[in-house]
Structure 1
Amino acid sequence: MSIANIMTRRNRLVTTLADASLATLHDVFAKSRFQHVPVIDSSNRLIGIVSVKDYFRVLSPVMDSATDPAIGIFIRSRKVHQVMVSPVITGTETTSVKQAAALLLKHNIGCLPVIDEQKHLLGLVSWKDIMRAALGKSGSGT
């Protein structure tokens, strides 16, 4: 089975731009089920990814000693490109679920963005999607 059958499609993902502030990620990670936010350019090409772990890793040094207003200033002044992972390990719609699982394990990552030949973002497969597929469960999510 290919990951095209289990991925969360682009229209259901939250994405961001590299020049957006970290404040744009705050609500995504605080209020949604998403653990990963793909970073795209103006042509919908994948250029990076930010996980909730990446986000909190950047915030952790200031969270212990800063006030809430100072944290707000910090996340509004930092840009996504300063914390995103790039280049990104990716798959294509023809990547098998087994190959995707192997990539997640090999690179110790939690998701695999799915792109086309021009690096346009088509979707995302998380380890949860792969586990659901292994267990024969339906439904996708990141």
Structure 2
Amino acid sequence: MSIAQIMTHRNRLVTTAADASLASLRDVFAKARFQHVPVTDSSNRLVGIVSVKDYFRELSPVMDSASDPAISLFIRSRKVHQVMVSPVITVNENTTVKQAAALLLQHNIGCLPVVDGQKHLIGLVSWKDIMRAALTRPAAPAV
């Protein structure tokens, strides 16, 4: 089974720009049911990825000691490119589910952006997508 069969397609993803503020991510993570936001340039080329874990890691030094207005100012002044992961481990549509699962385990990551040959974002596959595929895939016949 290929990643193309189980990935979330580009038109269903929320992306952000590298120069967007962390405040914009706060809103995305607060409303969304996903944990990763691909970072793209104006040509839809993948330049990075930011996770909710990356976001909170950036905030953790100020969370306990700062007031709400100070935290708000902090996340408005910090940019996505300051916390995103780049370069990103990616796959293409022809990558098998087994290959993708091996990459997730090898690199201890939660998702893989799916890109074309020019690094244009075409989708994203997460460990949850892979688990869902494993659970819904028909069992192999007994021999």
Q: Quick check: TM above 0.5?
A: yes
Structure 2 counterparts to residues 61-140 of structure 1, below 5 A: 61-136=61-136
Structure 2 counterparts to residues 41-60 of structure 1, below 5 A: 41-60=41-60
**Cα displacement (A) at 1:34:** 1.4
CA distance in structure 1 between the partners assigned to 2:113 and 2:14 by the alignment: 12
Match of 2:140 in 1: none
| 1:52 partner letter | V
**Cα displacement (A) at 1:16:** 0.2
Identity of aligned residues (%): 84
Which protein is bigger by CA-based radius of gyration?
A: 2
CA contact (8 A) 1:28 1:34 kept: no
CA distance in structure 1 between the partners assigned to 2:31 and 2:46 by the alignment: 24
Match of 1:140 in 2: none
Match of 1:16 in 2: 16
Matched, 1:5 2:5: yes
Match of 2:25 in 1: 25
Query: Which structure 2 residue ranges, 5 or more long, are not aligned?
Result: 138-143
How far does the alpha carbon of each residue in 1:39-78 deviate from its partner, in whole angstroms, 9 at most, with x for none? 0000000000000000000001100001111110000000
| 2:135 partner letter | L
Match of 2:141 in 1: none
**Cα displacement (A) at 1:2:** 0.3
Give the TM-score of the pair, scaled to structure 2.
0.95
CA contact (8 A) 1:6 1:129 kept: yes
Q: Which region of structure 1 is more displaced relative to structure 2, 23-32 or 42-51?
A: 23-32
- How well do the aligned residues superpose, as a CA RMSD in angstroms? 0.7
CA distance in structure 2 between the partners assigned to 1:26 and 1:67 by the alignment: 17
| 1:110 partner letter | G
**Cα displacement (A) at 1:100:** 0.2
CA distance in structure 1 between the partners assigned to 2:76 and 2:46 by the alignment: 23
| 1:35 partner letter | Q
CA distance in structure 2 between the partners assigned to 1:34 and 1:28 by the alignment: 9
Q: Secondary structure at the match of 2:39?
A: strand
Count of matched residue positions in the alignment of Structure 1 and Structure 2:
137
Match of 2:40 in 1: 40
Please identify runs of 4+ aligned residues in structure 1 that moved more than 6 A: none
Query: Which structure 1 residue ranges, 5 or more long, are not aligned?
Result: 138-142
